[in-house]
Amino acid sequence: MNDSYNYDVNTEEVVQDIMKGNKTGWMASFGWYISDHPTCKEANKSREAFACLSQNSDCYDVSPGWANENYSIGYSCRCSTGYHGNPYIVDGCQETEVPLLVYEFISNGALSEHLHKLNDHSTLSWNDRLRIATEAAGALAYLHSSASISIFHRDVKSSNILLDDNFTAKVSDFGASRCIPLDQTHLVTAIQGTFGYLDPEYYQTSQLTEKSDVYSFGVILLELITGRKPVYSTENEKDLNLAMHFLQARRHNQIFDLVEDCLMKEATKEELDEIVQLIEMCIRLKGVERPTMKEVEYKLQVLRRTRIKKNKGLCIAEDNEETEYLLSASSYASAEGTSRNYSMEKELLVSQYYGR
């Protein structure tokens, strides 16, 4: 797809009006074009590659836009008159108006960008990593067990955990997610996910369960303590699966050889032992032997809170453990958390209805 864009309206004005809460009435469309074939007629000869997928769409030749406009440099698609939506997906153009989705700007990008810097070490502290893990676990636990309908993400990975201005974690990209009826524990689906994060049991059986997300989250925890990608190359240019390498190192009692140097200085041995044990539970080959995301969140909450209390020179009374957890500001039972998680549900439903 060509990088040249033409705008049908002043999109900057539209966005500014939306941010001010004004209803602009504008419909903004970005005029990109496909350069695989010079004209609609040529593109239509190869239906497999033809981009206008909606049956209610029309194809238009695109000219270069300067003095000599006697030839076409590509084509673009638009919904037919009376239809609205995305002409580039099947059933993307509907008679009802499709709402404009405006997403929050995420200034600090994805977690993966901070963990896997090229020729550089991550600057994320152990405190930040523990907090990000706890927040992400809370979001997934909400989707699994507290949302109005259970939702399995199906593509949990560090590049789908976004960080805002304050480095608060936000789980994103629900294009592969599935809603699960209340009377079911799993779905049989086509295999979808990212290698390195993909649950081996799901890969073998095609049965998607909540424990598939748990496995993927365990790999994220591994990334957080090792700074390595889920599939990475060694000095000998040999590709290694991080989860399998972790289990090998665990068997040979060499697990701390994998932990990032900076964390060996910041985290205590007890904290690392706890995380390693949690990772081992999450990436067990049998899903029934893995914890739920709610249990993962709880363990991370306890670990993080214990660290905070120790740093402040305070102690946690065992009798108040459960109470403190329920009253924790980062618990997804808060009013603010409920609002944010309801937004995740809405994003999922919109993603599935209108396509990615």
Determine whether 261 is an active site residue. no
**Cα gap 5→39, rounded to integer Å:** 18
What is the residue type of 289? Answer: E
Distance between alpha carbon 39 and the CA centroid of its chain, in Å?
36
The contacts of residue 343 (CB under 8 Å, 6+ apart) are none
User: Encoding tokens for residue 97?
Assistant: 């108006």
Beta bridge partners of 77: 59
Catalytic residue among 36, 155, 257, 319: 155
What is the residue type of 312? Answer: K
User: Encoding tokens for residue 328?
Assistant: 């924790």
Specify whether the CB–CB gap between 37 and 46 falls below 8 A. Answer: yes
Which residues carry out catalysis?
A: 155
